Amino acid sequence: MKKNVITSSILWAFCLVIALPGLAIAQDVGAHADGKTGDSQSGKALYRRFCVGCHGEEGNGLGENAQWLDPRPRDFTTALFRWRSTPTGNLPTDQDLYDTITRGIVGTLMPTWKPLNPQQKVDLLAYIKTFSPRWKTQKPGTPIPIPAETPEVIESVLHGRELYDKMACWKCHGPDGRGDGPSAPTLTDDKNLPIRPYNFHDGTRFRCGETNQDLYKIFMTGLDGTPMPSFADIIQPNDAWDLVHFLRTLQPFVHSKSRELWLQYAKTHPDIKPIGVE
Ligand code: HEC
Ligand code: HEC
Residues forming a β-bridge with 188: 194
Determine the pLDDT at residue 114. 85
C-alpha 56/C-alpha 274 separation (Å) is 45
**Is the pLDDT assigned to residue 266 strictly greater than 90?**
yes
* Residue 227 Cβ contacting ligand 1 at under 6 Å: no
- Mean pLDDT (whole number) for 9-38: 66
Q: What is the pLDDT of residue 208?
A: 84
Angle, to 10 degrees, between the axis of helix 237-249 and the axis of helix 212-221? 120
- Percent of the chain with pLDDT strictly greater than 70: 90
Ligand 1 pocket check for 79: Cβ under 6 Å:
no
| Model pTM score | 0.90
The domains of the chain are located at: 27-137, 154-267
Dist. CA 275–CA 278, nearest whole Å: 8
At a CB cut-off of 8 Å and minimum separation 6, what does 119 contact?
A: 36
List of residues 6+ apart from 120 with CB closer than 8 A: 42, 46
Cα 54 to ligand 1 centroid, rounded to whole Å:
8
Using CA positions, which residue lies closest to atom 12 of ligand 1? 73
**Residue 51 alpha carbon, nearest atom of ligand 1:** 37
Residue with CA at minimum distance from ligand 1 atom 22: 74
CA distance 131 to 77: 5
User: What are the helix (H) ranges across the chain?
Assistant: 2-26, 40-50, 52-55, 94-103, 118-128, 134-137, 154-166, 169-173, 212-221, 237-249, 257-267
Rounded to 10°, the helix 118-128/40-50 angle is 90
Distances (CA, A) of 85 to 93, 147, 223: 7, 13, 10
Report the pocket of ligand 2 as residue ranges, CB < 6 Å.
82, 167-169, 171-173, 183, 187, 195, 197-198, 206-208, 215, 218-219, 223, 226-228, 231, 243, 247
* 156 pLDDT higher than 50: yes
Q: Check residue 2 and give its pLDDT.
A: 54
Q: Per CATH, which fold does 27-137 belong to? A: Cytochrome Bc1 Complex; Chain D, domain 2 (1.10.760)
The closest residue, in CA terms, to atom 11 on ligand 1 is: 73
Task: Tell me if 235 CB under 6 Å of ligand 1.
Answer: no
Q: What's the mean per-residue pLDDT of the chain?
A: 91
Do the domains at 27-137 and 154-267 have one common CATH topology? yes
Topology annotation, domain 154-267: Cytochrome Bc1 Complex; Chain D, domain 2 (1.10.760)
> Residue 36: its pLDDT value, please?
96
Lowest mean pLDDT among 6-10, 127-131, 164-168, 177-181: 6-10
Q: How many whole angstroms from 35 Cα to the centroid of ligand 1?
A: 23
